Amino acid sequence: MSIADYPFAPLGGAEDRAMAIREQLREAIIDRRLAPGTKLGEAEVGALFDVSRTVVRSALQMLSFEGLVRSERNRGSFVANPSPEEARQVFDSRRLIEPALAAAAIERIGPADVARFRELLAEEDRLMGQRGTSVRRAEIRASGDFHLELARVAGNAVLARFMEELVARSSLVIALYGRTGASSCGHADHGSILGALEQRDAALAASLLVHHIDHIEADLDLRPASGLGLREALASE
């Protein structure tokens, strides 16, 4: 897969171009349009978006900080290729943070928030009814959005930013190690989690969230990957 396959919008108003490119690349990565290991050459990306390498470097640096891109000095940037160990750490972190977010969200959730959650669920439902790879991508993103909304409602901007990173990296991990396309298996979970939030049952919400994350992780094949160096080498081009 080449980044040239990505049909990007013309960057309309483009307030901050580096940020816009970061967003585009980010979505491409978590939507799995850009495979892990894909090289992101500064010149190539710059040509695609019609900006100089300066701007591209800025965007790539941001993505590198988020863990979505791995940069090697004098070699270039590549879509990250998280190891099974990294994957475990990401999910461990989520199991730690998300129940706390739920507890905080329960203190603050209002009707408007519930409505937004329901919109997200409806979108997930709509996508689940369809078939096709692009639909599947949108579905994965919508699933992540549910967790991001949870972080937003919880009202802790610091944790929300962490969650943004964790959700993005989760998508990458699922792309790499997902056994089935069953990332959607957790959809029903989202509904029950929202229910727990509405009932202000923090313990239940926390329990459901942990199980939800367990489910997602259980669908992964995190075995050390036989020829690790080899596999990585093969995957990187």
Which residues are registered as beta bridge partners of 62? none
Q: Write down the least CB distance from residue 162 to a second copy, Å.
A: 6
Q: Are 81 and 229 in contact (CB under 8 A)?
A: no
Sign of CA dihedral 174, 84, 82, 228: negative
Q: Which of residues 175-234 bind a second copy (CB under 8 A)?
A: none
Q: Which of residues 51-90 bind DNA (CB under 7 A)?
A: 51-55, 57-58, 71, 73-77
Give the number of C-alpha atoms closer than 13 A to the C-alpha of residue 67, restricted to the C-beta side. 19
Q: Are 167 and 175 in contact (CB under 8 A)?
A: no
73 contacts a second copy (rule: CB under 8 A) = yes
Q: Which of residues 40-69 bind a second copy (CB under 8 A)?
A: 54, 57-58, 61-62, 65, 67
Structure tokens at 35: 């495979």
| Residue (54 or 133) nearer to DNA, CB | 54
100 contacts a second copy (rule: CB under 8 A) = yes
The entry of DNA, a second copy, none near residue 52 (CB within 5 to 8 angstroms by kind) is DNA
Q: How far apart are CA 5 and CA 230, in angstroms?
A: 26
Q: How many CB atoms lie within 10 A of CB 49?
A: 21
Q: Write down the least CB distance from residue 171 to DNA, Å.
A: 23
Residue 9's region, left for phi above 0, alpha for psi from -120 to 50, else beta, is beta
Window contacting a second copy (CB under 8 A); options: 36-44, 122-130, 152-160, 192-200: 152-160
Q: Using CB under 8 A, pick the residue from 21, 30, 56, 97 that binds a second copy.
A: 97
The entry of a second copy, DNA, none near residue 90 (CB within 5 to 8 angstroms by kind) is a second copy
Instruction: Tell me phi and psi for residue 117, to 5 degrees.
Output: -60, -45
Q: How far apart are CA 122 and CA 112, in angstroms?
A: 15
Site residues, a second copy (CB under 8 A): 15-16, 54, 57-58, 61-62, 65, 67, 73, 86, 89-90, 92-93, 96-97, 100, 156-159, 162, 166, 169
Site residues, DNA (CB under 7 A): 16-18, 39-43, 51-55, 57-58, 71, 73-77
